[in-house]
Amino acid sequence: MSVLAAFAVPHPPIILPEVGRGEERQIRKTTEAYRDAMRQAAALRPETIVLTSPHTVMYADYFHVSPGRGAEGDFSRFGAPQVRLHAEYDTEFVSALSEICGEQSVPAGTFGEREKNLDHASMIPLRFLNKCYGQYRVVRIGLSGLPPLMHYRLGQCIAAAAERLQRRVVLIASGDLSHKLKKDGPYGFAPEGPEFDRAATEALENGDFLKLLGLDPDFCEAAAECGLRSFWIMAGALDRKAVKTNLLSYEGPFGVGYGVASFEVEGKDEARNFGEQLEAARKRERSERRDAEDPLVRLARLSLETYVKTGKFAELPANLPEEIMGKRAGAFVSLKKDGVLRGCIGTIEAVRNSLAEEILCNAVSAGENDPRFSPVTEEELPELVYSVDVLSEPEPADSSEQLNPTRYGVIVQNGTRRGLLLPDLAGIDTPEEQIAIARRKAGIGRDEPVRLWRFEVVRHR
């Protein structure tokens, strides 16, 4: 056997009458859809439920699979300690999955457990399932900070484990949608919130997993989404499978998006190889981006690639434009991988003989010396996206009223401590946010006095 079906479900505690105390009636559509989805799951008589949760143990570079024979949990933190659940784990499946992940170089396993108890994102779908079926064991898996394709590959490993053990498996991808749908909601409003939910529900309704895999990371962060990584794993578990899709419900009256969708396997479909399609698309994008890079970005790439491969600084190419060789300025080199920052180092003011030398040195520093990240490896080089910000001369700003986070970067200073933040960064909308982040970068307390400077940048990609 293999993965028989998958379900994308939300996990609002308020959906439980013991927690909602009447408020759950506002999401009646979600409740009814949840019941329908779990009845559909029960009809398949699964032996194993693989459950992916955003609220169990999560690491940046590793998928944690819950170890042991089982776990319990309750809803004490939501005012309903009487609601308790127990889950018996499928230890044989966990062992097979860990082995297959090792074979496929997917970083997953049972090490690093920090919290044994069941989380609410796991308990809510299990409680609905228990109303109509109970002859199953659970594999509980946390998400990670790894890119979409690695989540997809974990899903493929889940399907391979099901086939190796000949298990009847149902996957439940627990995850809410955007948390920023309403100004009076618990997390406020962002325009990206409703946009994300429209894109996600459309993709779920159509079984368009490539769209889910390709959503822009900055857009998703601004929307404060919750379940996307769960859905990526689900997509991998359904790789090359023909599925009958059904968006059972969507609503968001409390300011958080709740979607319920089902995906029942009907056979094979080699055209639904979304992981390979994503890899091919990313390869094309990298090639097109390299062809379109301007001279400053091309110099940054040459510098870091030369250093990583040889351990030596690159020589400045001949015939560089005068704007690079004949100018001195501060410059920051930023690296991204899979849409996520991978390194950023720069100089506030010129410290070298030319802008070209500034970029040459700062590109190496961004890849090798950013203390937030490990050094860039040679294997990563083709995946990196570079940008170069050339700074204008900083000018004093009397107060935050003279700042604009879209137009100006900011420098804060207290004595010898200085912190800088570039302009036009995703998720930073006010000068006060700019100043607060720059303070933290410099180690300056929020009550300590600071001098302010502003600067503009010309961004090269």
Judgement on whether residues 191 and 318 belong to the same structural domain of the protein: no
Residue 329 and residue 315: Cα distance in Å, rounded? 19
Give the span between the Cα atoms of 218 and 211, in whole angstroms. Answer: 15
For residue 50, the cross-strand partners are: 139, 171
Per the CB < 8 A criterion, the answer to whether 125 and 172 are in contact is yes
Structure tokens at 289: 């981006």
What is the pLDDT at residue 417? 95
Regarding pTM above 0.75, the answer is: yes
**What pLDDT is attached to residue 340?**
87
102 and 148 assigned to the same domain = yes
Query: What is the chain's Cα-based Rg?
Result: 25
Answer positive or negative: Cα dihedral of 77, 126, 257, 175: positive
Tens-place pLDDT, residues 215-238: 999 899 999 999 999 999 999 999
Residue 407 one-letter amino acid: R
Find the domain containing 353 and state its range.
Answer: 285-460
353 and 213 inside one domain: no
Domain count, the chain: 2
Name the domain boundary from 244, 278, 312.
Answer: 278
Whether 295 and 205 map to the same domain: the answer is no
Question: Quick one: 301 and 270 in the same domain?
Answer: no
Same domain membership, residue 401 and residue 383: yes
Please list the ranges in the chain whose pLDDT falls under 50: none
Residue with tokens 């009447």: 22
Tell me what pLDDT residue 1 has: 73
Cα atoms in the Cβ-side hemisphere of radius 13 Å centred on 168: 10
Final residue of a structural domain among 278, 296, 329: 278
The pLDDT score that the predictor gives to residue 272 is: 98
CA distances from 149 to 100, 146, 330 (A): 16, 8, 36
Task: State residue 441 phi and psi, 5-degree precision.
Answer: -65, -30
Instruction: Tell which of 278, 295, 320 closes a domain.
Output: 278
Please give the C-alpha separations between residue 209 and each of 64, 200, 264, in angstroms, as whole numbers. 23, 9, 14
- CA end-to-end span of the chain, whole Å? 48
Shared domain check, 291 and 274: no
Extract the tokens encoding 396: 């004093």
Residue with tokens 């920052």: 341
354-391: buried (b, 16+ CB within 10 Å) or exposed (e) per residue? bbbbbbbbbbbbbbbebeebeebeeeeeebbbbbbbbb
Q: What count of residues does the chain have?
A: 461
Q: What is the per-residue pLDDT for 215? A: 96
Based on the fold, state whether residues 23 and 154 are members of the same structural domain.
yes
**48-53 and 137-142 beta bridge pairing:** parallel
Residue 66's domain is classified under what CATH number?
Answer: 3.40.830.10
Q: 3-state secondary structure string, the chain?
A: CCEEEEEEECCCHHHCHHHHCCHHHHHHHHHHHHHHHHHHHHHCCCCEEEEEECCCCCECCCEEECCCCEEEEEEHHHCEEEEEEEEEECHHHHHHHHHHHHHCCCCEECCCCCCCCCCHHHHHHHHHHHCCCCCCEEEEEECECCCHHHHHHHHHHHHHHHHHHCCCEEEEEECCCCCCECCCCCCCECCHHHHHHHHHHHHHHHCCHHHHHCCCHHHHHHHCCCCHHHHHHHHHHCCCEEEEEEEEEEECCCCCCEEEEEEEEEEECCCCCHHHHHHHHHHHHHHHHHHHCCHHHHHHHHHHHHHHHHCCCCCCCCCCCHHHHCCCCCEEEEEEECCEEEEEEECCCCCCCCHHHHHHHHHHHHHHCCCCCCCCCHHHHHHEEEEEEEECCCEEECCHHHCCCCCCEEEEEECCEEEEECCCCCCCCCHHHHHHHHHHHHCCCCCCCCEEEEECEEEEC
Answer yes or no: do 217 and 290 share one domain.
Answer: no
Do 189 and 296 lie in a common domain?
no
**pLDDT for the residue numbered 322:** 86
Same domain, 415 and 336: yes
125, 206: one domain: yes
Cα 407 to the center of its chain, rounded Å? 27
Judge contact between 274 and 212, C-beta under 8 A. Answer: no
